[in-house]
Structure formats: C-alpha cells, structure tokens
Amino acid sequence: MTDAPERNLRMTVEYDGTNYRGWQRQMEGPSIQAVLEEKIGVITGENVRVTGSGRTDAGVHALNQVASFRTRSPIPCHRLRAGLNGLLPEDIAVKAVEEAPESFHARKSARSKTYLYQILNLPYPSALWRHHAWHVTRPLDTEAMGEGASFLLGTHDFRSFSSVHTNVKSFVRTVMAVAVRPRGGGRIHVEIEADGFLRHMVRIIVGTLVEVGTAKRRPQDMAVILAAKDRDAAGVTAPARGLFLKGVRYEDPDLGSQGDAGERPDEPPRGRP
C-alpha cells in the first residue's frame, strides 16, 4: 500500500457535540477529530491526520462539517463511508466521502461558513431539545432581533463580539448574510454566514440579540456595540448547546455541502442525548 498514489479525500460530517470537548484533538477528553482519525486508521491501517474546516467548541454541533485527509488506501469512497459509519459512535455520522483535487484543504480553501443558532422560546423546558437549543422563557420580539442583526451585515471589526481570550491578528470579518427566523414550536433560528468567525462570535451575537428581543437593548444598539470594539459593550454569551455549524462554502460548488442542514433542527434530535 505504501507504493500506492496518495489521495486527497474530503468528508462531510454530522455530529452531536454534547459528549465531546469540541472538534480539535484534546489532551484530555474525547474530540470529534480524534474519533474520526482513530476509525479511519482502523480501516486504512494508516496514521491519518484529519483537518476540519474550522474548530467547534465543546457542546457545539455540526450539520455539515467539511474535513479533508490524505491516504494511500485504495478503498473506494463509498466503502470508506460505509465502514466509518459502521465503526463510529451514533452521535457522529459521515454523510459523504469524495475524491478532492490535490489543492483542496478543508480549512484553507473555505470561503465562508454558515452557523445556525437555535433558541427555544417557551415558558416551559423541553425534554427533547435540552441539548440542542437555548431555552429562553421571556417572550422575544423576533422583528426587533432581525432589525438589530441587520447592523452586522458587511465588513466590521467584531472585537466587541469576540471572547477576550481570542488571539488573532485581526478582528475584521465580513458578514454576508444574517437572519432571525421564527420556527414552529417556539423555536427561533438565528443564521449567520461570514468569511470567518472569532471565538464565541456567534454565541455573543445571539446573546446580545436576545437582549434586544426582550427590550433590554434597542436594535440600533448593535451598531453602537460594534463601534465600541469592547467585549464589555456586548451582551451575554449564549450557551454552546444551541449552536450548529450548518455548512461551508467553497469557490467550487462541488466542494463541501450545505445540503438540507437548515432543516435538520426542525426534527427531534436523533441518537443519544
């Protein structure tokens, strides 16, 4: 097998992050990356390094995480997918394994990512959604939240919506699309597409929009918060359990997938909680 040509493969992975320390391999505790690398190694007999389109924190889920890895195994893609799904725990599923161009890199080739955050706006808790939504009991004004979210469109310094522990060269990011959508059963979806995200950026945005939705802040305060470039100016950080990586966009539409990701949270959670 060592003389076989090297292949560059991409995977589309769905996972429930409840029981994991996040995507990235950790010194302690399970991670999605480590589990995938282990199972790919069992099938191919290789030490494989899996690269994701980006990291997700502990408790965060993915509907269409894109990952890439290199292998000399001749096993066809459809058999790799079937083999992995036969070995993986039920809270991780490989939706696709495909041949990728030599230049494809799951993280470096990505042009934008879309995150979906789910809020459960009901006066009582949910047994089914407890690991997949933020339960907010106070009634939320979704029109005000949507108006506030619109101030985030475009290119801005998002320092106010970033964890103070973020170590980056620049806090400037471009938000291409943002929406606040009421769904059935008291659920509200906040969806954001951007060319990149800072640590806890979506969760801080959602926490601040919830304060707009309860009239603690005005919609136009979102512009003031952006201009402040100060984490203390923004609202609370929403819990990780409501956040889903919905999809990753690449220049080539055949690379990566958004699929039906926006619809999946409308179904009851599958697998173990």
SS3 sequence of 32-87: HHHHHHHHHHHHHCCCCCCEECCCCECCCEEEEEEEEEEECCCCCHHHHHHHHHHH
How much is the pLDDT for 271?
Answer: 41
Average pLDDT of the segment spanning 38-61:
95
Q: Around Cβ 239, how many Cβ atoms within 10 Å?
A: 16
Burial of 217 (0-12, 13-18, 19+ CB in 10 A): buried
- The answer on 239 and 118 residing in a single domain is yes
Q: Which CATH number does the domain housing residue 23 bear?
A: 3.30.70.580
Domain encompassing residue 233: 112-245
Q: Are 45 and 57 in contact (CB under 8 A)?
A: no
Q: Around Cβ 23, how many Cβ atoms within 10 Å?
A: 27
Residue 255 inside a domain? The answer is no
- The answer on 204 and 124 residing in a single domain is yes
* Cα distance between residue 180 and residue 184, in whole Å: 13
Question: Could you tell me which residue, 59 or 257, shows the higher pLDDT?
Answer: 59
Question: pLDDT digit string (tens) for 186-195?
Answer: 999 999 999 9
Verdict on whether the full-model pTM lies above 0.75: yes
How much is the pLDDT for 272?
Answer: 34
- The answer on 178 and 152 residing in a single domain is yes
Catalytic residue numbers, as ranges? 57
How much is the pLDDT for 164?
Answer: 86
Q: 263 - beta bridge partners?
A: none
CA dihedral of residues 127, 236, 222, 241 (deg, nearest 10): -30
| HEC assignment per residue over 174-187 | EEEEEEEEECHHHE
- The answer on 100 and 158 residing in a single domain is no
For residue 258, pLDDT beyond 60: no
Q: Which CATH number does the domain housing residue 207 bear?
A: 3.30.70.660
Token look-up 């929403």 returns 238
Domain count of the chain? Answer: 2
Q: Are 41 and 47 in contact (CB under 8 A)?
A: yes
How much is the pLDDT for 264?
Answer: 58
Residue 99 inside a domain? The answer is yes
Average pLDDT of the segment spanning 85-106:
97
Residue 89 inside a domain? The answer is yes
